[in-house]
């Protein structure tokens, strides 16, 4: 597999040094992941890690009663599950594809071996884990203090960052899960952003009309986690 294509397809692979990339490149397999594909079930151990090339994955936590909420999203800036943390065994999270796309798949044990043997790779994975933790923290903060409309604006911006497309293919069902609200509330929030001319909402599609307007509307909930990723790893937006 060509090293240049690996580096350009996924930003975390692109941030690896030559030795690290040479170590895992023979083990990388490009796969297509359909919408709603489950990459990891709760209380199970991962066999593979995925470096997304396109599309979007969602990390979800569920309560015993069956209520679910999104913890964070991962696209071509990252890896799922977060490799050096997978040695802990079973994961409490469900990981599924929110938007279909391609990814480089590699066995978890290969990445664990890389993290153990290559200090640079281990540091990179830990830096990514730190940036993702900050994303998850702002998601929790938003759920506590922000309106649904503000949280939706942040979520749209995060999706656009990772997809690099103004058109985001998403259903009301997924938006309901991602924002931890009922579908009627999703409809109201979409109409509110449309009324401000920030987005255009169609069936199974949200299109960005004003990114700067969305950033202003999302306020402090968007931007700091993204800046941390850029500081630690590099630009990805």
Question: Can you give 188-231 as a three-state secondary structure string?
Answer: HHHHHHHHCCCEEEECCEEEECCHHHHHHHHHHHCCHHHHHHHH
Region 92-104: mean pLDDT is 94
pLDDT band at 74 (very low <50, low <70, confident <90, very high): very high
pLDDT band at 237 (very low <50, low <70, confident <90, very high): confident
Q: Which domains does the chain have, with CATH numbers?
A: 3-123 (2.60.120.10), 141-229 (1.10.10.10)
User: Which element (helix H / strand E) includes 20?
Assistant: helix 18-24
Beta strands at 101-107 and 48-52: parallel, antiparallel or unpaired: antiparallel
How far apart are the C-alpha atoms of 190 and 168, rounded to whole Å? 13
pLDDT band at 44 (very low <50, low <70, confident <90, very high): confident
Determine the length of the chain.
237
- Average pLDDT over the chain reads 91
pLDDT band at 65 (very low <50, low <70, confident <90, very high): confident
How far apart are the C-alpha atoms of 42 and 54, rounded to whole Å? 24
Q: Name, in order, each residue with C-beta under 8 angstroms of 173's C-beta and a sequence gap of 6 or more.
A: 183
pLDDT of residue 84 exceeding 70: no
User: What is the reported pLDDT for 58?
Assistant: 95
pLDDT band at 31 (very low <50, low <70, confident <90, very high): very high
Of the candidate ranges 35-49, 72-86, 113-127, the one whose mean pLDDT is the lowest = 72-86
């Amino acid at each position: 597999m060509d090293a240049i294509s690996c580096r350009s397809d996924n930003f975390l692979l692109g941030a690896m040094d030559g030795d690290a990339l040479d170590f895992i490149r023979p083990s990388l397999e490009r796969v297509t992941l359909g919408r709603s594909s489950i990459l990891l079930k709760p209380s199970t151990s991962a066999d593979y890690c995925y470096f997304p090339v396109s599309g979007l994955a969602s990390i979800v936590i569920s309560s015993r009663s069956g209520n679910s909420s999104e913890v964070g999203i991962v696209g071509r800036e990252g890896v799922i599950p977060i490799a050096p943390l997978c040695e802990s065994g079973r994961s409490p999270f469900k990981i599924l594809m929110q938007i279909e796309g391609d990814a480089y798949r590699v066995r978890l044990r290969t990445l664990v071996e890389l993290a153990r043997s290559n200090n640079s790779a281990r540091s990179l994975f830990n830096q990514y884990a730190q940036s993702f933790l900050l994303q998850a923290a702002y998601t929790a903060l938003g759920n506590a203090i922000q309106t649904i409309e503000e949280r939706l604006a942040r979520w749209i911006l995060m999706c656009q960052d990772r997809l690099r497309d103004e058109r985001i293919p998403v259903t009301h069902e997924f938006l309901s899960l991602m924002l931890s609200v009922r579908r009627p509330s999703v409809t109201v929030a979409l109409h509110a952003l449309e009324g401000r001319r920030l987005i255009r909402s169609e069936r199974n599609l949200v299109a960005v009309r004003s990114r700067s307007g969305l950033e202003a509307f999302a306020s402090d909930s968007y931007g700091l986690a993204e800046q941390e990723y850029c500081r630690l790893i590099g630009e990805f937006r």
